[in-house]
Structures are given as C-alpha cells and as structure tokens.
Structure 1
Amino acid sequence: MTFFFYQRDFKNKVFCGTTAITAILWVFLTQFDKLLMSKFLSLEEFGYYSLIVSVSSGIMMLSGPVSVAILPRLTALYNSDNKKQMTNLFLKSTSLVSVTVLPISLIIIVIPDKILYLWTGNIELSSWGWALSIYSLGSIFVVYSSFLHYIQFAHGNLKYHLRYGLITSAFSIPLIYILAVYFSVEGVALIWLARSSIGIFLWAPFVFYKFLPGYYKEWLINNILYYAIVDFILIYFSKILLLKYLDERLYLFIIMFLLISCLILINYVMFKKVINKSYELRTNSDRNI
C-alpha cells in the first residue's frame, strides 16, 4: 500500500516538473527574440517590432479560454475510459477555434498593412505588414499545435512534449541568434514561422500516432484546412474589391467588423451542416458496432 502511494506521488511530481520545465522553455523562447532585437534595432524600430509581436500574440490569447474549458473535460473523459467522447470533444474544440479565432487570424495575415493602419493610424508602420503577417501565421500554427499538448496532458503523459520542447529549443536558440545578427527582423520572423509550422505538420503526426491513431488527417483537413481555405478565399476577394480602397479608419473598422462577423457565421454554418454531421455518423456507426 505504501509502495503504491509513493509510486503515484513520484509520478505526480514528475508530471508537475515536466509541466514547469516546458512552461519555462516557452517563456524563454518567446522573450529571447525581443532581448536580441533590443540590441540590433533602433528605439523606434524596436517599438514597431514590439507592437507587431503583441498583435500577433493576441491570436494565441484569443484561444486561451478554449484550453481552460476543455483540459479538465478531456482528462475526465480519458480517466473514465470514454475515449470516443474524448476524441469528439478534441475535434470539436479544434473546430471551435477554426470558427472563431481563425477568421481574425487570416484577416491579420492577408491584410496586415490595413490592420496596422487601423490600429495606430501610422502609415509608416504599415510597411511592417509583412512581419505581422509572418508572425501571425506562426501564431495560428502555435494555437493549433497547443492541442497536441492538451491531448498529452489529458493522458497524463508529457514526456514526448518535454523532449520535443528541449530538442526544438536546442536548435532554435542558436538559430534565432545567428539569424538576428545577419538578417535582423526577417530572420527572427522566419525562424518563428518555421518552428511553429514544424509543430503542426511534422510533430503532430507523431503525437496523433501515439495518442489518437488514425485521426491526424481528419483533424488537419476537416477541422482546420476546410475552414481556412473558405475563409482565405473570402478575405482575399474582400481585399481586392473593398479593403484596398478604404483609407478612412472608421469605414475600415466597420468593414473589418462586418467581414469578421460574416466569416464566423459562415464557419458556424459549415460546422453545423457538414463537420458536425461527420461526428454524428461516426458516433452512430460506433453504437451499431
């Protein structure tokens, strides 16, 4: 009895320690580039850079309530040996992010110059739109990659997450320094995008193989790309037809608000009519078996 108590206590300590280490790594990686850029940029340029990083980080903050809501539920479903419901919750939560956060992210990615002008009224800052686009694309990749952490957390197994964090940090930190020295903001932005895209396109298949085998393609295509393609097309044509002619900030804000509202509504309809139906069909087939 005592042995099992200490064994469980040891596992809890390892789990907590792993969580703490990965959190420290994440904080260091997200702040390391700012520390470097403060040396290589002028005060004015560093102010622009900090604003761009802050705006793109807002994408990750928008998805925060999702993790708060689903993590306890995912863990409870796994512990009650209800893996089908856990999987459905995981997929539907990803779709929730695609319905709500993805439209805002894609607007920032596709028309970053208008976003910066709307935010600040500074035309000079609009020339930094390319950096905001790259950082925002990396941020939405991080949002979806965070679901890999959720599913590992629910299983009570973060060893793969820790190893991934240590390995990518070992490569990222020297690369960030080298690219910052030789390519300034361009280099740092590209390494952020590269590291984020590795998470969703290379790391994710391994995590799904270990914890949710057979669901990676469905997760990527049905819950992410399906929405992203539709939203991108609508935003791109809106940019061509309307947004590039708008220089008045009030009108620009109204158009942006209406566009975001329409995209969220369209995404919700897609979820209810198409994606949700696939969950129902899979659930019914499981019951018949």
Structure 2
Amino acid sequence: MFKNIIANYVGKIWGIVSVFVFIPFYIKLLGIESYAVINFYTVILTIMYFADGGLSATLNREVARNTNKQYIGNMLFTIERVYMAVCLFIIIIVFLFSKIIAANWLNSNTFSNEDLSLYISLMGISVAFQLFTTLQSSGLTGLEKQVLSNGIQVSSSFFRSGVVLLPLFFFPTLLTFFIWQVSINIIFFFVTRYNLWRYIKTDVKYTFDREILKTVGRFAGGMMLMSIISSLNTQIDKLVISKLLSLKEFGYYALAGTLSQVPELIITPIAVAILPRMVKYSENNEKDKIKKLFHINTFILSTLAVTGGMLLFLFTKDFLLIWTHDIVIANKIENVTKILLVGAVFLSFQFMPYYLAIANGHTSVNVRLGIAAIICIIPALIFFVKQYGLIGATYTWLIMNVFAYFYLGYFIISKFLKGEFKRWLINGTMIPLIITAIIGFVSYLLTINLQKGYFVFLYSIIIGLISLYINLTIFNKMNPGYRINILQLRDDEKI
C-alpha cells in the first residue's frame, strides 16, 4: 500500500503544482473572464460525474474484491457498454442546451452567446471522454495498479494543463483551449483503456451480462445518488454564483475555491489507497483490522488536512500574492478563501466515514443527507449571495460541511464500527483541530511582524513540521493500542 500512497501523492502533488503554476498563465494570456469559463468547464465536469451512475466506484470495489478474471472481464465489458450510452447522452444533452446555458446562465461582458454556446458544446465532448477515462482509472486502482494509473493521469494532466500553453501562446483564445482539451482527452481515453484491459484480458471472449448489472446495480444506484449529492455539495455554490454574479466575480470565487481545495488534495491520495484494503477487510469481516485501519488513518488524514488548512489560513494573502502577482485579486478574495478553507477542513473529516460506507456497500445515509442538503442549500445560497455577494456563498459552504461532518460520522460509524464514534470524533478530529489551531495562533503572534513574501514558505515548513510532530506525539500517548510508527507505512499489514 505504501508505494500506492506514494504514487497517489505524485499524482496529487502534480495536480497541486499544475494549479499553482498554470492558472496564472491562463489569466495572463486569456483574462479573468476566460478563466471563469474554464472553471465553469470544471464545474460541469464535476457535476457530470453523477452520470457515471456509480459505475466507476462499483468497478473499483468489484475488482478489489474479486480475483476471477472472467467475471471481472465480463463486468468491465458490460459496464463499458453502459458507459458508451451515458457519454453519448451527455454529448447530445450538452449540445442541445448549450445555447440556453450561454444565453440565460453565464453573465459575460466579453463573449457573445454564440461563442459561449460553442465552448459549452466542446465542453460536453471533452467531459464525456474524461468521464470514460475515469472509469478505466478506477479499474486500475481496484487492481492496485496505482503507480501506472497515476502515471497516466499525471501525463494526461500535463498535456491538458501545461502543454496547452504552447498553442495558447500563438492562438490565445478559448476555442484553442477547448479543442486541445477534447483532443487530449480522446487520446488518453484509449491509452488508459488499453492498459486496463492488458491486466484483465484472457483468451476467453467476454459478453454483455445483464446479471452482472443486477448484481452490482443496487450499489451502483446508491453510488449514483451519492455522486449527485457530492457534486452538488462541492459545486452548487459555483453554479449559483455563475448565475447570479458576473463572470468576473465568478472567476474571483473560482480562484479562492481552487486554493481552498489544498487540504482535500493533500489527503485524497491516502484515502484512495486505503479503500481497496478497507474493502478486503470488510469482505472478510476482520473487525479489528478495519477498526485499526480506520482510526489510524482518520488521525493521519485529519492532521494533514488541518495543518495544511491552518498554514494557508495564516498566510492567505501572502500565498495569493505569490500565486497571482495581483494585489487586487489578493485583496478581493482573501476573506473568501479563509472561510472556504475552514469548510474544506470539515469536508476532509468526512473522508474516512465516507470510505467506510463505500467499503461496506452502504449508501443510504449519504443519500438522506444529500436530499436534505439539496432542499436546504440552494435557497440558502441564493439568499446569502444576494445579500452578501461572494462572501455569502462561503457561509453556506461552511455550515453545510460542519453539519455533514457530524451527521455522516455519527450514523456511519455507529452502524459499522459500533462504539467507536466518540474515539473518531475526539481523538481523530477534534484533538488535531484544537492542537493545530493553538499552534496556528501562537505562530501568528510569532510571525506577525516578520518579513513575509517568499519567506512564508520557510515559515510554513517549520510550523507544519512542528504541528505534525506535536499531533503525532499526543496521539501516540493517548492511543497506545494504535501507536503510529512512520516506518510501519512500508508494511501493508500494519496499517
């Protein structure tokens, strides 16, 4: 599992690097409104993951828990056919509604409705192939081929985010950007699919099997609802802002939202690597192993997320200035970013309960929460955005994630790890949060009069290491049965 975690981190580190390196170039070459359109593409991509129908998560889970290549091959062959229909449906729907979205949703002072409609149509094609590639990557992850999977993903991301700057330098238009995205996504779809089938393929001919769909249908259906909920929870604020405010304001909010994703980006590689092991422990009903895996990694994820969030919270304006080189943008979104960061930390606390539910094939708790959120969050967002502008959307985001943190934690842990909710709440989340907040406050007092600029990187490294060390020491003293030895990370069976 250690090498998979490292591979996942390489992928995520590249994701973080690409965000910080390339977005300023997009803004410089194309302008803030063009960046807003690019971010709207990201919003559509995230929301369209619901069209996945839970099939990617299902494939990951089924591949992780089965060794029969005939079954896996039939399942992949079957799911791929369903996916083809889904992706074709996405392309058609986006194309049909592109003019309506351009005319009635995006408020642009730069682009005509015809141009926006064309960009949205290209988004639909690009999204469809990127979704299909996600399915193939999930299969590789389930096979624990995460080194290969991340290698492909990093390469595709590099071509999508980095190499695109070459044509943009000569032809700085959104049309260039989206034609490039479509081309790269098509190429890497075939690359990922080839590599997945390379590890599954046998001499037996695979067939479309309706019984497989029936077998995994309940889990896939629940995952579809969870995907809808997750996409809405993470993107509904951006959808509302893109409708109610100008593209320029939306661009500002998108920048703040990008920086606030860092706590989540830090911990996702570990969470993804844990899931196959958690599935196996759940399938074998190994309660002690899954309990230890759950609590140790809850603490690790929480500490990393809170520490990362705290450092960005401390030096928000400095990091924004280093990133964008624009004092106007830094002043505009500093407070927006801070509140989004706090919300992102509480979102990170939900990872382990979420994966515990997936490992046990359980989705109903997440679905109930999502339905309640959909009912409440949209009117709340509209009200707060109209009343307070950009900062208003952050209030809703924070409240939603604090509530979801308690709700998911209580119901899921009580169901699958009876009697462990209190340990998760206090030792796994609250103590790291409180300790790191205290460290952050002391650090603020110590650095308030020091020189900033690029020195914040040095301060962040020192403060971050101190935070991790103190948290680890306290956790080991309070939890002798779950002591964490960093060297154990190399031993798959000890974590």
Normalised by the length of structure 1, the TM-score is 0.85
- State the 1:197 CA deviation: 0.3
- State the match for 2:454 in structure 1: 250
Larger RCO (alpha carbons 8 Å, 6+ apart): 1
Alignment-mate amino acid for residue 195 of structure 1: M
Does the 8 Å CA contact 1:56/1:136 hold for their aligned counterparts?
yes
Distance, in Å, in 1 between the alignment partners of 2:364 and 2:407 is: 17
Alignment-mate amino acid for residue 432 of structure 2: Y
User: 1:172 and 1:10, CA in 2 relative to 1: closer, same or farther beyond 3 A?
Assistant: same
- State the 1:39 CA deviation: 4.2
Does the 8 Å CA contact 1:180/1:187 hold for their aligned counterparts?
yes
Tell me if 1:277 matches 2:462: no
Alignment-mate amino acid for residue 277 of structure 1: P
**Correspondences of 1:47-196 after superposition (within 5 Å):** 47-124=251-328, 125-126=330-331, 128-196=333-401
Segments of 5+ residues of structure 1 without an aligned counterpart are 281-289
User: 1:39 and 1:169, CA in 2 relative to 1: closer, same or farther beyond 3 A?
Assistant: closer
Distance, in Å, in 1 between the alignment partners of 2:220 and 2:243 is: 35
User: 1:258 and 1:165, CA in 2 relative to 1: closer, same or farther beyond 3 A?
Assistant: same
Larger radius of gyration: 2
Q: Secondary structure at the match of 2:349?
A: helix
Which 4+ stretches in 1 moved above 4 angstroms?
Answer: 5-9
Does the 8 Å CA contact 1:112/1:126 hold for their aligned counterparts?
no
Q: Secondary structure at the match of 1:157?
A: coil
Alignment-mate amino acid for residue 142 of structure 1: L
Tell me if 1:200 matches 2:385: no
Distance, in Å, in 1 between the alignment partners of 2:331 and 2:245 is: 18
Distance, in Å, in 1 between the alignment partners of 2:366 and 2:215 is: 16
- State the 1:22 CA deviation: 1.6
- State the 1:7 CA deviation: 8.6
- State the 1:248 CA deviation: 3.9
- State the 1:147 CA deviation: 1.8
- State the 1:277 CA deviation: 0.8
Deviations 1:164-184 (A, max 9, x none): 212212221222223222322
Does the 8 Å CA contact 2:229/2:370 hold for their aligned counterparts?
yes
Alignment-mate amino acid for residue 282 of structure 2: Y
- State the 1:220 CA deviation: 1.3
- State the 1:48 CA deviation: 2.4
Q: Secondary structure at the match of 2:418?
A: coil
Q: Secondary structure at the match of 1:245?
A: coil
- State the match for 1:285 in structure 2: none
Distance, in Å, in 2 between the alignment partners of 1:119 and 1:268 is: 31
- State the 1:261 CA deviation: 2.4
Distance, in Å, in 1 between the alignment partners of 2:282 and 2:480 is: 24
Does the 8 Å CA contact 1:98/1:223 hold for their aligned counterparts?
yes
Alignment-mate amino acid for residue 166 of structure 1: I
Q: Paired residue for 1:18, among 222, 225, 230? A: 222
Segments of 5+ residues of structure 2 without an aligned counterpart are 1-208, 484-495
Distance, in Å, in 2 between the alignment partners of 1:78 and 1:6 is: 26
User: 1:11 and 1:161, CA in 2 relative to 1: closer, same or farther beyond 3 A?
Assistant: farther
Distance, in Å, in 1 between the alignment partners of 2:452 and 2:338 is: 22
More helix by share: 1
- State the 1:33 CA deviation: 2.0
- State the match for 1:283 in structure 2: none
Bigger shift: residues 31-40 or 187-196: 31-40
Q: Identity of paired residues, percent?
A: 26
How many residues are paired up?
A: 274
Does the 8 Å CA contact 1:29/1:173 hold for their aligned counterparts?
no
Does the 8 Å CA contact 2:346/2:402 hold for their aligned counterparts?
yes
User: 1:211 and 1:6, CA in 2 relative to 1: closer, same or farther beyond 3 A?
Assistant: farther
Q: Secondary structure at the match of 2:350?
A: helix
Bigger shift: residues 31-40 or 216-225: 31-40
User: 1:259 and 1:99, CA in 2 relative to 1: closer, same or farther beyond 3 A?
Assistant: same
Q: Secondary structure at the match of 1:213?
A: coil
Does the 8 Å CA contact 2:318/2:453 hold for their aligned counterparts?
no
- State the match for 1:240 in structure 2: 445
